[in-house]
Structure 1
Amino acid sequence: MRLPPVVRLSLEDALALLLPVECAGCDEPDAALCDACRSALAPAPTLQILDGVRVWSGLPFAGVPARVLRALKEEGRTGLAPSIAPALAAAVRALDRDAVLVPLPTSRASMRRRGYRVVDLVARHGGLRVTRLLSPGRATADQRGLGVDERARNVAGSLRARGGAGARVIVLDDVVTTGATLSEAVRALRHAGAEIVGCATIAATARHNGRRAPLVTDP
């Protein structure tokens, strides 16, 4: 059962009395998310056009949004998902409400470590229904610390798509950095016959040196 926001916040405040917590955005004590940081998560969609593919992102991956996303992904603070869900929903609405929403697959290692799929969880709290058409085709190295070209090579040919022929699809991810993983998802889905409407992410990093990996490659 999905609790109303007022009830959920009351429960979080009560839990904070028993189990002291710190704000995920600023470390203020006794609140999972303080009012100021909650306000900083208000959707502010931005658009990138990368090799003809529209990529809408609900928030910048910096400051409070970055800290909250890291807390959700790396610290298991799943109670933060409802607070960032509006950002993903806003990015999807900017593209098409009626397209099939396909999240990037979660690696087995990440699933074992977390026990949940980050994008799927956030999408559910945003009232978005996802369809998992993508699956890993081969193992890849951790993308963290890799440059633009290295990321592209690392994920090239790493995803497979099953089904989706003729469907209008929006690819979902948590953060767009270089765009390499989204590029691979677009390739796999197009190869399976899907029409790509665009990509939607919770957040986007700033451009580095004015470069992005291409989002469209030949099947």
Structure 2
Amino acid sequence: MLTFIRSAFENLIYLFYPTLCAGCQTMLYGEEKGLCSTCRMQLPHINTGEEQSVLLNKFGGRTQVDYVYAYAYFMKKSIVQRLIHQMKYRGKRDLGLQLGKWCGQELAELKGMPMRADMLIPVPIHSLRRQQRGYNQSEWIAEGLSLSMGIVSRPDVMERTQFISSQTRKNRIERWKNVANVFRVTKPLVVRGQHVIIVDDVLTTGATLEACIVQLREAGAATVGIITIAATR
């Protein structure tokens, strides 16, 4: 009887407050989470091998990156852009967690990825930005990755020391100048000799991630890899 009452109550809540697909806004059913089955199948996944290795070219040998992995391609007016926008600007924590889980599950099934990690480090945001927004979406993604990969997330070992304007409309050189010295490793002893992965939502020019890598290398990290939910071509 209790099970029946609980099920009836959940169905009533769902009737008035349905869970919608973040991609197409249709109702989710059964085991669907975050995205409906159709939208999830339509995600422009970045395959292993050559497509993933091309992402390393964004860093052009300027700093040592051990590997880069992104879950899907980011294009304007695409389903991936809608997902990132809802997570980043509308505070969809569950979506961030789910994307991180899917990404981690896919990585766990891949063979030949040179991945070894002791911790996940979400790209930090400035304290003023956190006050404005109330959250850091990269931490949600790292939480999801942690759940599916069994690697601890450490949002406490890096900080952003300067509050700067949005990078969205800047080119690569402008982005690099904007973020070159805005990150700091707050717990170098935790990082020293460790294999770390930096986690972010989107890889575009790579300037922000590159700035983080420089600081982690200087702190003595043994290897530094990157995982993002999306990447531009």
TM range (shorter): 0.7 to 0.9
Partner residue, 2:98: 83
Equivalent of residue 125 in structure 1, options 124, 140, 144: 144
Q: CA 1:112–1:168 in 2, change beyond 3 Å: closer, same or farther?
A: same
Runs of at least 4 residues off by over 6 Å: none
Q: TM-score, normalised by structure 2?
A: 0.72
Q: TM-score, normalised by structure 1?
A: 0.76
Equivalent pair of 1:57/1:91 in contact (CA under 8 Å): no
Equivalent pair of 1:137/1:159 in contact (CA under 8 Å): yes
Unaligned runs of 5+ in 1: 1-10, 207-219
Q: CA 1:15–1:176 in 2, change beyond 3 Å: closer, same or farther?
A: farther
Partner residue, 1:4: none
Q: CA 1:140–1:148 in 2, change beyond 3 Å: closer, same or farther?
A: same
Give 1:20 deviation, angstroms. Answer: 5.2
Structure ID, larger Rg: 2
Equivalent of residue 55 in structure 1, options 53, 64, 68: 68
Q: CA 1:112–1:173 in 2, change beyond 3 Å: closer, same or farther?
A: same
Give 1:154 deviation, angstroms. Answer: 0.3
1:108 aligns with 2:127: yes
Q: CA 1:74–1:37 in 2, change beyond 3 Å: closer, same or farther?
A: same
Equivalent pair of 1:102/1:131 in contact (CA under 8 Å): yes
Give the aligned residue type for 1:38. Answer: R
Partner residue, 1:196: 223
Partner residue, 2:82: 67
Q: What secondary structure is seen at the aligned counterpart in 1 of 2:198?
A: strand
Give 1:95 deviation, angstroms. Answer: 4.2
Q: Give distance in 2, aligned partners of 1:42 and 1:36.
A: 12
Give the aligned residue type for 1:148. Answer: R
Give 1:40 deviation, angstroms. Answer: 3.3
Equivalent of residue 182 in structure 2, options 152, 158, 165: 158
Residue-by-residue CA offset, 1:44-64 (whole Å, 9 max, x unaligned):
453322325222111112322
Give the aligned residue type for 1:150. Answer: E
Equivalent pair of 1:44/1:87 in contact (CA under 8 Å): no
Q: Give distance in 2, aligned partners of 1:175 and 1:96.
A: 19
Give 1:105 deviation, angstroms. Answer: 0.5
Partner residue, 1:146: 170
Equivalent pair of 1:165/1:192 in contact (CA under 8 Å): yes
Residue-by-residue CA offset, 1:9-40 (whole Å, 9 max, x unaligned):
xx6x8654213565321233x34632211333
* Equivalences, count: 194
Q: Give distance in 2, aligned partners of 1:17 and 1:42.
A: 32
Partner residue, 1:185: 212
Unaligned runs of 5+ in 2: 1-9, 29-33
Give the aligned residue type for 1:101. Answer: L
Paired-residue identity, %: 29
Residue-by-residue CA offset, 1:137-190 (whole Å, 9 max, x unaligned):
222221111111110000011111132122222211111111000010011111
Equivalent pair of 1:103/1:120 in contact (CA under 8 Å): yes
Give the aligned residue type for 1:56. Answer: Y
Partner residue, 1:17: 15
Q: Give distance in 2, aligned partners of 1:60 and 1:14.
A: 37
Give the aligned residue type for 2:212. Answer: A
Give 1:77 deviation, angstroms. Answer: 2.1
Give the aligned residue type for 2:100. Answer: A
